[in-house]
């Protein structure tokens, strides 16, 4: 299985249903990512407490997502687990309406994050399998979510400037409900993807898998581990902006409408990459592309540490198309071409829970103290992470094979 470069767009009605799921997910992200920290500050929390609340859920992905995904690989299905997890997410999110103290926020965030952050890797796995089954283009399908993110962040920013945060939680809850409905309307998994038979599969030169369960196989592959390291460094560099970006811009006198616009510019660039970069991604070795991404990331964060100019910030936000969008496409292409099909959901969950979870969570947890100590110049640390990618990717190129190996 691999991400293919099909050009039939949204001619198949299944594409609209998967696109609706992405729409619900990114409607929530479009409200929460730019404005969650600002809402928490209005609830009386300090930068350190805000950084903790936004950062520690990333660690919870490691506790839940890989194990949920391994069960999905074992069962050969993803739709029903997604429905169950999304229903629990809606229920647990309601706890925020009754939270008044920092510890109450911690408790609600704990239970909500354990279930909600297991949904995204399952959606990605379902989407990639759907693209493979119905000859759809993953990048264009995924861009639907990014478009919804733009619309949400811009319009919601305007709304918050004029009406305040009284209805903030209601909007977030509504987006979660819409996501559940969209998942409910998805087609069944159809033909079940092959579940691994651990007893019958034997080790040998023709089988790189051996008799190992998915997590054990993937986590003993040096090639896979080093891929996670490179992607982690790239994604970690976004952590400070995700937590303190809006807070820092607001402290510089930038209003909510402009903050929403700054986030949206980055996502517009991301959409363009998703739509038009598919052919390039499939023709160049992944580590070469990640090296180029690292150069742009070093420049992006290094300059952002020195400026509060809105026009310059807008220009720097266009780099998001590479530092996030292209990096995500490279990761999905890497997984879809190198991981055995029956282990793809588990591999996808490890990508979601380690580079996009544990690793970035470390930076997010440190973002509050970093901002207290360095202010906007903490972006220099993010530039350093991208600069390090140049050297690590060069090493990983030497051990990269077309199929994952254990040694």
Distance, CA of 272 to CA of 283 (rounded, Å): 18
Distance, CA of 69 to CA of 351 (rounded, Å): 11
Can you give the pLDDT at residue 198? 34
Can you give the pLDDT at residue 196? 41
* C-alpha angle 177-178-182 in degrees, rounded to nearest 5: 120
Token pair in block for residue 359: 């690793």
**In the structure, what pLDDT confidence band is assigned to residue 215 with cuts at 50, 70 and 90?**
confident
Distance, CA of 183 to CA of 118 (rounded, Å): 14
Given a cut of 50, whether residue 210 has pLDDT beyond it is no
pTM: 0.75
Can you give the pLDDT at residue 343? 80
Token pair in block for residue 231: 């992607």
Rg (CA), the chain: 20
Q: Across the strands, what pairs with 204?
A: 207
The domain defined by 13-187+214-399 carries CATH number 1.10.630.10: no
Is residue 358 a contact partner of residue 59, using CB atoms and an 8 Å limit?
A: yes
CA 164 to chain centre: 28
Q: At a CB cut-off of 8 Å and minimum separation 6, what does 96 contact?
A: 105, 108, 112, 169
Q: What is the pLDDT of residues 53-69, one digit of tens each?
A: 988 887 787 778 788 88
Distance, CA of 216 to CA of 220 (rounded, Å): 6
Q: What is the pLDDT of residues 105-156, one digit of tens each?
A: 999 999 999 999 889 889 988 888 888 788 888 888 888 988 998 899 888 8
Instruction: Calculate mean pLDDT across residues 333-352.
Output: 84
Q: What are phi and psi of 204, to 5 degrees?
A: 165, 175
SS3 207: strand
**In the structure, what pLDDT confidence band is assigned to residue 402 with cuts at 50, 70 and 90?**
low
| Ranges 148-152, 185-189, 233-237, 254-258: which has the least confidence | 185-189
What's the start-to-end Cα distance of the chain, in Å?
A: 22
Q: What is the pLDDT of residues 271-292, one digit of tens each?
A: 899 888 877 888 888 899 999 9
Ordered by start, the domain boundaries in the chain are 13-187+214-399
Can you give the pLDDT at residue 186? 92
Is residue 399 a contact partner of residue 224, using CB atoms and an 8 Å limit?
A: no
Distance, CA of 288 to CA of 340 (rounded, Å): 23
């Amino acid at each position: 299985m691999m991400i293919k470069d099909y050009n039939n767009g949204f001619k198949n009605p299944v594409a609209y249903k998967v696109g609706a799921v992405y729409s619900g997910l990114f409607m929530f992200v479009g409200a929460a990512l730019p404005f969650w920290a600002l809402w928490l500050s209005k609830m009386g929390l300090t930068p350190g407490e805000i950084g903790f609340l936004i950062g520690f859920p990333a660690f919870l992905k490691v506790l839940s997502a890989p194990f949920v995904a391994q069960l999905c690989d074992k069962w050969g299905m993803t739709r029903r687990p997604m429905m169950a997890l999304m229903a629990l997410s809606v229920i647990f999110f309601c706890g925020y309406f009754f939270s008044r103290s920092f510890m109450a926020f911690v408790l609600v965030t704990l239970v909500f994050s354990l279930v909600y952050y297991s949904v995204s890797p399952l959606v990605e796995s379902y989407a990639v399998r759907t693209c493979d089954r119905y000859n759809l283009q993953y990048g264009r399908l995924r861009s639907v979510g990014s478009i919804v993110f733009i619309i949400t962040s811009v319009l919601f920013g305007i709304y918050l400037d004029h009406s305040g945060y009284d209805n903030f939680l209601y909007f977030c809850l509504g987006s979660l409900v819409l996501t559940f409905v969209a998942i409910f309307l998805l087609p069944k998994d159809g033909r079940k993807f092959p579940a691994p038979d651990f007893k019958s599969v034997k080790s040998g030169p023709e089988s790189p898998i051996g008799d190992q369960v998915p997590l054990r196989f993937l986590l003993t592959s040096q090639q896979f581990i080093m891929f996670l390291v490179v992607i982690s460094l790239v994604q970690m560099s976004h952590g400070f902006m995700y937590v303190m970006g809006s807070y820092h811009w607001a402290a510089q006198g930038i209003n909510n409408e402009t903050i929403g616009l700054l986030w949206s510019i980055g996502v517009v660039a991301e959409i363009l990459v998703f739509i038009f970069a598919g052919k390039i991604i499939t023709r160049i070795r992944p580590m070469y592309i990640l090296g180029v991404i690292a150069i742009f990331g070093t420049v992006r964060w290094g300059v952002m540490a020195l400026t509060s100019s809105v026009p310059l910030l807008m220009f720097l936000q266009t780099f998001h198309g590479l530092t996030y969008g292209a990096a995500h496409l490279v990761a999905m292409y890497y997984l879809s071409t190198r991981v055995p099909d029956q282990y793809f959901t588990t591999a996808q969950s490890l990508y979601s829970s380690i580079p996009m979870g544990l690793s970035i969570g470390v930076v997010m947890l440190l973002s509050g103290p970093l901002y207290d100590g360095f202010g906007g110049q903490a972006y220099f640390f993010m530039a350093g992470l991208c600069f390090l990618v140049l050297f690590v990717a060069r090493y990983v190129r030497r051990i990269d094979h077309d199929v994952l190996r254990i040694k």
